[in-house]
Copies of this chain bind each other. A is one copy, B any other.
Amino acid sequence: MARIVILGAGVMGTAFSVPLADNGHTVHLVGTHLDGDIIEEIHDTRTHPRLHVRVPDRVQPFTYDRLGEAMVGAELVVMGVNSLGVDWAAERLGPVLPPGLPVLFLTKGLAGDQQQLQILPHVLRAGLPKHLRDTVQLAAVGGPSIAGELAARRHTCVVVSGADRARLDKLANLLRTDYYHVWTHTDLIGVEVCVALKNIYALAVGLVIGLREKEGTTANASAMHNTAAAIFAQGLYETAYLVEQMGGRPQSVFTLPGAGDLYVTCQGGRNSRMGRWLGLGLAYSVAKAQHMSEDTIEGAELALAIGSTVQTMVAAGRLDGARLPLLRTMIEIVCHDASVAMPWDAFFADA
């Protein structure tokens, strides 16, 4: 049995403690500076306020100022912060992370520095002290995992991805239960690109909910699943292009990290809810301020994080804009309050 630290007590970080606890590990769940209330509530009631499940007894809650204490004897650190918290996490982990320890990312996203796109494990590495950068073992979980379902022990299938197959197999063995099915592979970049982009393409699929409401009903009361499915397919096609451009493997696109995670993210949630407002005709800034001011909309966060970098790379010819019409449309919608208009004729270029 291992001692495992989860940094970030949001729904995913906390849900991840359930299979770990079921495997007999001791879990130290360390809230970020934003998770104070959650840690207090778990401490007092053993319940996560948004996950609505009892947190297993083997899970000990910690506030972030006690991270050093929580890290003593840890064999694995799990990154459960949100996509904006990676720099913060690097700062906090720098002084307390032993060389060579694996860091497993649940956090999803991409970063852009106006020159290029980066996966978040590489952002973390860049933020660590020099002596840790070469030794830290970066890995990531990818696949369709709604936190509440994992916490309820519904069958969930994921991959754990990283550089070294033997280490990954060891890691996967820490995680596997009879409901949490884990495969390993070495396409870290492919996995990270897929699971980040799924948020922005799920936001795009969600537009159709609003478009249908706006267009109104038809004589035969038809839905608009054809439209949503076409956007889904274009999203996956663009994901394949970006995975290839960033050095990942196509197989990740049509297995759990790509198709599986995009599918699950289209089943509802905040991206879909924001998509509806946009499809109804609200500008992103208005919809955010008026209807979802308290919510993190991950697809929109991604557009804001990489929008200008993607535009720069396209302008410089380092990305082929003709292969990314949906991503560029979503960036215009989120970053520049553009109205929703699907560039159908630009879809599936070179397919």
Contacts and interface: CB of A to CB of B under 8 A. Distances in A.
Interface of A: 51-54, 143-146, 148-157, 159, 181, 183, 185, 218-230, 232-234, 236-237, 240, 250-251, 253-256, 258-261, 263-264, 266-268, 342, 344-345, 347-348, 351
B149 A226 contact: yes
Contacts of A157: 226, 230, 233-234, 344, 347-348
A151 B54 contact: no
A233 B220 contact: no
B154 A224 contact: yes
Contact of A259 (B146, B154, B218, B254): B254
B146 A225 contact: yes
Contacts of A225: 144, 146, 149, 264, 267-268
Report, nearest first, the 5 A-B pairs whose CB atoms are least far apart.
A233-B260, A144-B229, A157-B230, A152-B218, A229-B264
Given A51-B220, A155-B224, A255-B236, A230 B149 contact: no
A49 to B, nearest CB: 12
Interface centre among A220, A223, A258, A264 (most CB of B within 10 A): A220
A256 B348 contact: yes
Contact of A351 (B185, B240, B264): B185
Contacts of A149: 222-227
B259 A219 contact: no
A52 B183 contact: no
6 contacts: A53-B220, A149-B225, A152-B219, A152-B220, A155-B230, A229-B260
A269 B237 CA distance: 26
Contacts of A347: 157, 181, 183
Contact of A155 (B54, B144, B221, B227): B227
A144 B223 CA distance: 13
Given A52-B219, A53-B219, A220-B151, A156 B263 contact: no
A251 to B, nearest CB: 6
A232 B263 contact: yes
B254 A254 contact: yes
Interface centre among A146, A154, A229, A345 (most CB of B within 10 A): A229
A344 B181 contact: yes
A240 B254 contact: yes
A154 B351 contact: no
Contacts of A263: 228-229, 232-233, 263, 266
Given A51-B220, A255-B351, A260 B181 contact: no
Given A233-B259, A255-B348, A264 B226 contact: yes
